[in-house]
Structure 1
Amino acid sequence: MKVERGAAYLPCRLLEHLYSIYSSHTYSLLSVLLGSTSQLVSKSVFAQDDWDIYSFHINATVTHRYAVTTITSRIANRMNESKETEFQIQIPKNAFISMFRLTMDGQVYDGIVKTKEQAQEQYIRAVSHGQSAGIVSSVGRTLEEFKTSVTVAAHKKVTFELKYEELLKRTHGKYELQIHARPMQPVRDFKAWVHFYPTADQQKNCDSCGEEGMNGDLVIAYDVNRTSDGYFVHHFAPSSLPRIPKNVIFVIDQSGSMHGRKIKQTRTALLRILNDLAEDDFFGLISFDSQIIHWKRELVQATGPNLEGARQFVLNIHDRGSTNINAAVLEGARILNAHPRDGSASILILLTDGDPTSGVTNLDTIRSNVKQAVAGKFPLYCLGFGFDVNFEFLEKMSLQNSGAARRIYEDSDADLQLKGFYDEVATPLLTDVTMIYVGGTNLTQTNFSQYYNGSEIVVAGEIIDNNSKQKVTFSNTNDSVDPSVSDGRLQRVWAYLTVKQLLEKELLLSGPEKEKVNKEVLELSLKYSFVTPLTSMVVTKPEGEISEIHHKPKERKEPPLLPQSQSAKSIYSKSLRNSPSTRKQQ
């Protein structure tokens, strides 16, 4: 089998299937999806007869789990008059847009990443001309939308090119790069790039193959060339470690706002989770509204009789009352602290759909109380149900306690979302992980409270002496280390990780410390041309058309749809309020 990195020539029909790319070097699984769901979209705002997408190319290069995806759409105006054509792409929320290019009549117009203040000055000029500048907006659970338009002269062509970058996250033991393409019309030149040359024997010897030939997933083994770069990325994902018994407390909101489908789906998810507990696990259940409702006031072992009693408790959880988050989380922490077990891992999981409305309601006080109660002994994971929840509060509280926040979308599969999250933390393998690197500097996060089966710890850094890379040493041999790679890719991985982690750190800071972190994020974002919450991309256009400003949306309550006449002023006002300089004045 021969593979060229980053690419493929396969018929469009074949690309509609699920393909998996397996790395023999990293023991990872990468899924590439092309087909029915509209995750990448290129289309025009006019009828299909007015324009023609005559070329649509996707080039996704994955190197050491770092994916760089470029979408190129070439469109021709077949009409006898000028028409406006729209380019619309949906990208993963975790990705940073790093390049946009518009080409017309041999002239190239590049998008430029600027500070928000600089971009807003251009935005004001656009608004003064009665135009609405662009914004990258959230569209659903995992996607953001980039959209721009340009006027194309009669019988002329335009090329749109967008590049975005992301570090793939290992979940449930695999990596997934999802690319769904819908150009909205048949395209004569539709390509994605992967080279695959199976022999006749290989076509008959796969797991689901037979004499009739291939009938299953395409599995591609690959490695990469290694040349000096000066940076390293360490992927830590040992698979042979024994599981650690866990102590887990579920703190479940049963206030009145959980009425209906929310509470039913929560019960369904909890019943599934209880079925997956191992007998050496200990667990507890707390439901709360304005009061705390215990199943047991201590941790109990996941034996058959105890699990059956827990199921009856879950079935009797009903919505009522207000929301006392402070008391409920503190009680969960108390139970975990009261029953320590050597050789086990403790986890506290909160599910809520709203703000605290009873007991202690000041958010800063709640976070302070919880941090003091947890005292760094175990992670707190906060699951926010729906868009009425104060997600920023949950995110800060979880980050302060070595955990993470996750939004649970109010949809028909919410119970599966809840169960899916639990599966990610269901099998702890290590606790209090500290990564030490001799010969490395400018390291990303190196301390981790827990490592779970199916996940991965990633650390990147700069090698102090580029002529002595062997000084970077690692004590664990059952993981992968990428000491260097050509074309500066590892340096971008380091920059991506650093920006992501600094943005999380910035949430928890205030005053001069916050400004210092913001400055670091801004410098890296501008240096590597990342569109982050502190930068914007100015999309330049041909003379006579107003340029656009594209921002990186934050995870927040979905804004209401605005009338067209109000959109420009409203978006600008929101951008101005969120800018670093404005926050400083406030």
Structure 2
Amino acid sequence: MLSAPGVVLLFTVLLGFSSLGLASETNDLDIYSFYVNSTVSSRYAVTVITSRVANRANESREVDFHVELPKNAFISKFTMTIDGKAYDGVVKKKEEAQQQYSRAVSRGESAGLVSVVGRKLEEFKTSVTVAAHSKVSFELTYEELLKRRLGKYELLIKAKPKQVVKDFKIDVRIFERQGISFLETKGGLASNDLESAVSTSKRDKEALVNFSPSVEQQKQCSGCADKGLSGELLVIYDVNRPKSAGDLQVVNGYFVHYFAPTGLSRIPKNVVFIIDQSGSMSGTKMKQTREAMLKILDDLYEEDHFGLITFDGSVTTWKDNLVPVNSDYLALARTFVKKINSRGMTDIHAAVLKGVEMLSRFGESGSPKGSTSIIILLTDGDPTSGVTNLGEIKANVKDAIRERYTLYCLGFGFDVNFKFLETMALENGGLARRIYEDSDAALQLQGFYEEVATPLLLEVQMKYSGALSTTQTSFGQYYDGSEIVVAGQITDNDLEKFTAEVKAKMKDNDVTFSEEITQSKGDSKTLDHYIFDTYIQRLWAYLTVQQLLEKQVLLTEEQQVAVREQVLALSLNYSFVTPLTSMVVTKPEGEQAQVAHKPKEGEAHSKPVISFRSSHRSNTAAYPSVRLLSADTVDGFGPALRSGKARTHRFRQGSAPYDHHPPVFRSFSILQQPPTAKNFLQKPTYASPTLVTVIKVLLPTQGQNTSICFDVEAQTNRIPRNPVLTLLYDPATGISITGEMLQGQHLHAIGVRHKDGCYMKANTTAIVVTQQGIESVFSWADLGMSHQCDGITLNLHDEVLLADMGKVHLRILRHKDGQSNFLWTALSLQAPIPGAKGLLGNSPISYVLKETTSTISAKLEILGKEVMGRRVSAVDYSIHSKPTVDCWLVPFSSVVPGSLQDVLSS
């Protein structure tokens, strides 16, 4: 319910682009396009930052790309395009990325760890050399679940391009099924000289915010001149809440439940404030703490009771017992707070136990019925007197509290052992928050108190029928202005009745909320048009990873190992840069790859960034070590994945829903390691380089929401350079569908033969139909084309060629890939074809989910045999929006008889 440590208000990104040397001064490097597109679909925000830079100089220049993003966000994609050649960021296990970095350093090369921690943000930074009169574009995507605080969601974008940009635009789209109750914009980019550059519109469920400053506005705004804009755009909104049970959404086997009931009576609280007044709190810290406490006292409710404790080497209580909130006690408390001064040592152990003792006595003497008790500890350092063993302190505090009270720990500055405070708070139902030493530290303290000032529900328990792998479902409190979010997977495919039930305690009685979704069996479309199919799935993965990372400090070493494996698997499957993964930024030949890490809370927030400098610059775009087209997997079934060869994880996310009738053949993807040892990984030369082609095929299923997928792998010295693969061959009807790969990268051509009377071949430029020796040639621009050919009916609409052959329906899509095109196929069968061969001969497939062994693995029964499946994600190229889908990865032999040689075609 409360945000993780840090004071950033839900969603923040700082953008800056700069060149090195004299380029920025001479305008040799021109940022001619700067575009931020942030789409929020029911709180889940996906932000894409695109910057295009042109080198106008007569010699090479180095360009930096620099983005600061929220601490709670996960980078999911990065692409750098130079002269039409794309270089992709690859998410890897952190140890693998670190080894790569270490090898580069040991060779005397200067690589860089390119993420740092700031007060609110983390930094992603990379650089590349751009040849004279050439262009480079950077595109970074990151994802985050917006958290509701104090009754609103906030999205903050800071823009700092450092020069005037010809095409400067920030677009924010917000879609909320509950309806948007209010929308406003603030910040330097929305006021004074730039106010006219901001436009907003709000309809019932959709809000749009656009910031498009002209060149003149960028030059004439206050303090801009030729240095460009530097400011922030803050978008604030909330949603309607007509249902007390919240908003329940279900799509494609996943659900999310947003729970934030209104109209509830406030629960009285008994709160003890424990304030560190040791010597290290002297000066500004102490002044700001007094200022914050005076404001907090003004915000206490009349039904509340409170107590004040200060500590250094000894413990001082303002009153021996908690007192009611009234004008007399508040006046005395203000006098006490004003006299708090720093001195002495730090005895955290005695101070916290004293607070527990006060609450215990207050409870024994008759605390208000239905009230809740909390302790708020503020300290800026480690214990230096009394009990100083951290383990002993945590054990004694936990034993004293015994789950009766909630403990919140506020760590002031970076000298404090934040992990110790975090563990102690989590063990006692609370959380820890870092208070940053800055001019607004008092506001940070006040802001935290406001979040917990108004409890509305206690002992909240969430239950869901037919669900598994749910995120956290038990919450000690629900506070006014916050929101509980639960996501999970649905085990029961019959979604005619999916129920959410919430039980909790109110001020005077227990209460139960319930919400139910009803729909036709097999229909997963319960959401509005703006919800892309993988929205809930990715939200579930994001929230699961976040909560596992937060809770792992409470686990034993053995439990932590299991949790880390689960987090790693999810991070790799969904291409998230988390504390267990890193993104390797590929470079052209002659430039070392850089590694972007997800830093942990408490790491030095002013860590320097080391940018790579190479003595040799090449303008030739080298073949990257891996060409990314689709998802890889963790501990996959094929030899290529187990061999330790370079592998990649990339997920392209669509924004449009699936077609109403998803095709049988959804995705067909290739990962290839090129025939060279001199690639961006700088791997050593092998005597006999082994080339591995990996083809991932996705099949839909009958009666299940999750598809089946399998890998096809082979040594490339055993297959042609441009292999032709049999997708489907039906001996009874003579229908044959084949796909030609261009150097193992893309489907370059699709061939369809119906008996011997008609043959159709489509490549990326033309469609050729041959009937009785006569050729008919069509262009992809011939929209509305319709042609009959001996049992095959062809229709062309919007980059999609439809080939209807009775019981077999084929869709061929043409996709853009930088400056080139490639093809994709989607095959629909009315029923399985007996005796059919090829990669898709057994589709559609059916399976029985026999046993779920973990959140990402299960035992499946396919064609009468039990096999192990692992849940992975892959890109669905069968529609132009290219969404990411979930699938059970199973062995090739479990769905396709024979080997790869059996599906090779001439």
Deviation, structure 1 residue 42: 2.3
Match of residue 231 from structure 1 = 254
Gaps of 5+ in 1: 1-29, 197-205, 207-212, 568-586
Match of residue 115 from structure 2 = 136
In structure 2, how many angstroms separate the alpha carbons of the residues matched to 1:522 and 1:299? 47
The answer to whether residue 138 in structure 2 is matched with residue 177 in structure 1 is no
Percent identity between matched residues is 56
3-state SS of the aligned residue for 1:131? coil
In structure 2, how many angstroms separate the alpha carbons of the residues matched to 1:215 and 1:156? 31
In structure 2, how many angstroms separate the alpha carbons of the residues matched to 1:296 and 1:321? 21
Match of residue 490 from structure 1 = 536
The answer to whether residue 575 in structure 2 is matched with residue 529 in structure 1 is yes
Q: Which amino acid aligns with 2:257?
A: H
Match of residue 102 from structure 1 = 80
The answer to whether residue 372 in structure 2 is matched with residue 345 in structure 1 is yes
Q: Which amino acid aligns with 2:442?
A: D
Output aligned runs, 1:543-558, within 5 Å: 543-558=589-604
3-state SS of the aligned residue for 1:493? helix
In structure 2, how many angstroms separate the alpha carbons of the residues matched to 1:416 and 1:565? 36
Output aligned runs, 1:362-401, within 5 Å: 362-401=389-428
Deviation, structure 1 residue 473: 3.1
1:253 to 269, 276, 286: 276
Match of residue 157 from structure 1 = 135
Deviation, structure 1 residue 85: 0.5
In structure 2, how many angstroms separate the alpha carbons of the residues matched to 1:243 and 1:560? 42
8 Å CA contact retained: 1:521, 1:534: yes
Q: Which amino acid aligns with 2:142?
A: Y
8 Å CA contact retained: 1:441, 1:463: yes
Q: Deviations over 1:435-489 (max 9, x none)?
A: 1111211110011111110011111111112331522333566989997643201
Q: 1:439 to 1:250 in 2, by over 3 A?
A: same
Deviation, structure 1 residue 31: 9.7
Report runs of 4+ in structure 1 exceeding 4 Å deviation: 30-33, 213-217, 224-227, 475-485, 559-567
The answer to whether residue 323 in structure 2 is matched with residue 300 in structure 1 is yes
Q: Deviations over 1:266-302 (max 9, x none)?
A: 1111111111111110000000001110111111101
Match of residue 410 from structure 1 = 437
In structure 2, how many angstroms separate the alpha carbons of the residues matched to 1:514 and 1:223? 42
Q: Which moved more, 1:144-153 or 1:473-482?
A: 473-482
The answer to whether residue 59 in structure 2 is matched with residue 81 in structure 1 is yes
3-state SS of the aligned residue for 1:432? strand
In structure 2, how many angstroms separate the alpha carbons of the residues matched to 1:162 and 1:389? 34
In structure 2, how many angstroms separate the alpha carbons of the residues matched to 1:161 and 1:43? 15
Q: Which amino acid aligns with 2:436?
A: Y
In structure 1, how many angstroms separate the alpha carbons of the residues matched to 2:68 and 2:203? 28
Count of aligned pairs between the two proteins: 518
Match of residue 587 from structure 2 = 541
The answer to whether residue 404 in structure 2 is matched with residue 426 in structure 1 is no
Q: 1:194 to 1:255 in 2, by over 3 A?
A: closer
Output aligned runs, 1:181-196, within 5 Å: 181-193=159-171
In structure 2, how many angstroms separate the alpha carbons of the residues matched to 1:232 and 1:221? 25
Q: CA RMSD in A?
A: 2.8
Deviation, structure 1 residue 222: 4.9
Deviation, structure 1 residue 214: 10
3-state SS of the aligned residue for 1:474? strand
Q: 1:433 to 1:367 in 2, by over 3 A?
A: same
In structure 1, how many angstroms separate the alpha carbons of the residues matched to 2:554 and 2:310? 28
Q: Which amino acid aligns with 1:298?
A: N
Deviation, structure 1 residue 508: 1.7
Q: Which amino acid aligns with 2:205?
A: D
Deviation, structure 1 residue 122: 1.1
The answer to whether residue 558 in structure 2 is matched with residue 512 in structure 1 is yes
8 Å CA contact retained: 1:237, 1:457: yes
Give the number of the structure whose residues are more often helix, by fraction. 1
Deviation, structure 1 residue 178: 1.2
8 Å CA contact retained: 1:367, 1:397: yes
8 Å CA contact retained: 2:34, 2:165: yes
TM-score, reference length from structure 1 = 0.84
8 Å CA contact retained: 1:235, 1:479: no
Q: Which moved more, 1:432-441 or 1:539-548?
A: 432-441
8 Å CA contact retained: 1:348, 1:378: yes
Give the number of the structure whose residues are more often strand, by fraction. 2
Deviation, structure 1 residue 561: 5.2
Match of residue 310 from structure 1 = 333
8 Å CA contact retained: 1:229, 1:486: no
Q: Deviations over 1:356-391 (max 9, x none)?
A: 000010111111111111111121111111111111
In structure 1, how many angstroms separate the alpha carbons of the residues matched to 2:356 and 2:471? 29
8 Å CA contact retained: 2:117, 2:606: no
Q: Which moved more, 1:315-324 or 1:337-346?
A: 337-346
Q: Deviations over 1:7-62 (max 9, x none)?
A: xxxxxxxxxxxxxxxxxxxxxxx9999xxxx8222222232412001111111110
Q: 1:566 to 1:539 in 2, by over 3 A?
A: closer
Match of residue 440 from structure 1 = 467
Deviation, structure 1 residue 129: 3.5
Asked which structure has the greater RCO (Cα within 8 Å, sep 6+), the reply is 1
Match of residue 457 from structure 1 = 484
Deviation, structure 1 residue 191: 2.0
Deviation, structure 1 residue 126: 2.0
8 Å CA contact retained: 1:97, 1:163: yes
3-state SS of the aligned residue for 2:251? coil
